[in-house]
Structure 1
Amino acid sequence: MSTASNASMTITGQSTVLFHVDIKLSDGSAAESTRVHNKPARMRMGDGSVSAAFEAQLLGRKAGEQLTFTLPPEDAYGMPNPDNIYYLDRNKFSAESPAEVGAIIGFGMPDGSELPGLIREVAGQSVTVDFNHPLAGQTLTFQLEILEVQ
């Protein structure tokens, strides 16, 4: 009795999948790619790291397959949450991290992690910082190359 190799394993709801992904915006411009630093993504099916709609595209696929699919915002990175927009006092910013529209600044969190925030507006002493994922609210096209299935 021989065992199946990784190349013939089909993705199921319990699989771990290693894949390269290129994400494009609706205008065709590149948003993100794991190929840039040659660091493929690894995910366990059902762990909640991606949407059910994303996982549904992977079910039944095998290593070596390539696929392209488009997801609406609610199945990709979600819709922007107004609760993730904060208004900070301009004096909270420094010369190293000035409050400039379009800048992405890492803000230290109580647990020691860093959360990136996009500066949307500067009005007087008030700075509007958006902590939503930069791809929230976007319809995205995903191009995947499945490298390994476990």
Structure 2
Amino acid sequence: MTIDTQSRITLHFELAMDDGAVVDSTFERTPATFTYGDGSLLPGVEKKLLGMCAGEKKDFVLNPEDAFGQPNPANIQHFKRDQFGADMELAEGMVISFADAQRAELPGVVQSISDDEVVVNFNHPLAGRTLRFTAEILKVEAVSS
């Protein structure tokens, strides 16, 4: 059986930077299982799995558009330093959790700090990066509707 849009898939995967640094991998852990289109994998990754079958292993190049997109300059926000607690120690690269308008958690990375301003980047850390995705399909099942 090959993967289509009505499949439940069990696989091992590895997501790596183009220099080979591994971001995430299940090859030394329990394999991942998901239903096509359930949001577990990025849509650009799912599309590359279409047509694969159990026992197949492939490496894919993920351009930013297939992965986390391009960085959006509007996602870089400038805050007054006094909006952060005086006792809060800030450092470049630090991840701070903010709440969006719906009170959902929104992580941001401190990009720079001055006496008056803190610049926070809300883009995904992998935005703009070309990545490598390796998939080894272990099982493909039809999803009953």
TM category, shorter: 0.7 to 0.9
The answer to whether the 8 A contact 2:11-2:31 is kept is no
Give the total of aligned pairs. 141
Amino acid at match of 1:133: H
Deviation at 1:47, TM superposition (A): 6.0
Aligned position for 1:64: 55
Aligned position for 1:75: 66
Amino acid at match of 2:116: Q
- Equivalent residue for 2:18, pick from 23, 26, 31: 26
Q: Deviations over 1:89-145 (max 9, x none)?
A: 222334785321011111123433211111111122211111111110000001122
Question: Unpaired runs of 5+ in structure 1?
Answer: 1-8
1:15 aligns with 2:3: no
| Aligned-partner Cα distance in 1 for 2:131–2:92 | 24
Q: Deviations over 1:27-58 (max 9, x none)?
A: 11112234576472624248695234x33321
Aligned position for 1:142: 133
Amino acid at match of 1:19: L
Q: Deviations over 1:64-94 (max 9, x none)?
A: 3222111211221110011111111222334
Aligned position for 1:44: 36
The answer to whether the 8 A contact 2:34-2:40 is kept is no
Question: Unpaired runs of 5+ in structure 2?
Answer: none
Q: Tell me, what secondary structure is at the counterpart of 1:56?
A: helix
Structure 1 window deviating more from structure 2 (130-139 vs 29-38): it is 29-38
Q: How high is the TM-score relative to the length of structure 1?
A: 0.77
Q: Tell me, what secondary structure is at the counterpart of 1:102?
A: coil
User: Identity of counterpart residues, as a percentage?
Assistant: 39
Aligned position for 2:80: 89
The answer to whether the 8 A contact 1:66-1:145 is kept is yes
Q: Which runs of 4+ in 1 moved over 6 A?
A: none
Amino acid at match of 1:80: P
